[in-house]
Structures are given as C-alpha cells and as structure tokens.
Amino acid sequence: MNPATFAVLAVVIGSVVLFGTATVLALGWAFRDGQFDNLDRGAASIFGPDEPVGEPTDAFPE
C-alpha cells in the first residue's frame, strides 16, 4: 500500500471511528443528563421573565 492510499484510508476510517464514537457519547450523555426527560420545559427554556411566553418580541420600527 503506497503512502497516499494509506493516508486516505487512515482519514476515512479514523473519521468514521471518531464521529461514530462522538455521536454515541453525545447521545448517551444527553440521556444520562436528563435532557430528554421534560420536553415541555425544554421548549420553554428560551423564554424568561423579561421575554415571557405570550409576548411577541419583534416589530417593524415606528
């Protein structure tokens, strides 16, 4: 196997291993951390007392 072919294979196989592992780890962490336990609370997490649900936050300037 010449060096160029080896480099290509190393990159492809290395990427598959790296990204496969990263995806599994991320998903596992999310489950353990309870990220998917209360989806309604998750959906509301971008709101706060200053920009509450029910209050639009953008308009054309006057």
Partner 1 sequence: MAPTAVTPEFDRERAAAERAGIDASCRGPVLYFAASAAFWLLVGSALALVASVKLHTPYFLTGIPEFTFGRARMAHLQAVSIGWTSMVTMGGCVWMMCRLCRTELIYPKLLFVSGTLWNVGTLLAVCGILLGGGQSVEWLDAPPYCPPFFIAGLGLVSAWVAATFRRRREPHVYVTQWYILAAVFWFPWLYTVAVFMIYWSPATGVVQPIVNWWFNHNFLGLWLTPVAVGTAYYLIPKIIGRPIHSYYLSITGFWALALFYSWAGMHHLIGGPIPAWLSTASTVGSVMMFIPVIAVGINHHMTMRNHFHRLKYSPALRFTVFGAIAYTWVSFQGSVESLKDFSEVAHFTHYTVAHAHLGAYGFVSMIYFGLYYYMIPRLTGREWASSRLIRVHFWCAAVGITIYFVGLSIGGWWQGRMMNNPDVPWGNIVVYLKPHFLSRTIAGVLMTVGHVAFAALLVMNLAGWGKKRTGGPTYFVEKT
| Number of helical (H) and strand (E) elements in the chain, helices listed first | 2, 0
Residue 32: CB minimum distance to partner 1, A? 13
The tokens for 29 are: 């962490």
Alpha carbon distance 7, 15 (integer Å): 12
Taking Cα atoms as reference points, which of 12, 14, 16, 36 lies closest to residue 24? 16
**Which of 13, 17, 19, 25 forms a contact with partner 1 (CB under 8 A)?**
19
- Could you tell me how many residues of this chain bind partner 1 (CB under 8 A)? 38
Residue list 32-51, contact with partner 1 (CB under 8 A): 35-36, 39-51
Residues near partner 1 (CB under 8 A) are 4-5, 7-8, 11, 15, 18-19, 22-23, 27, 30, 35-36, 39-62
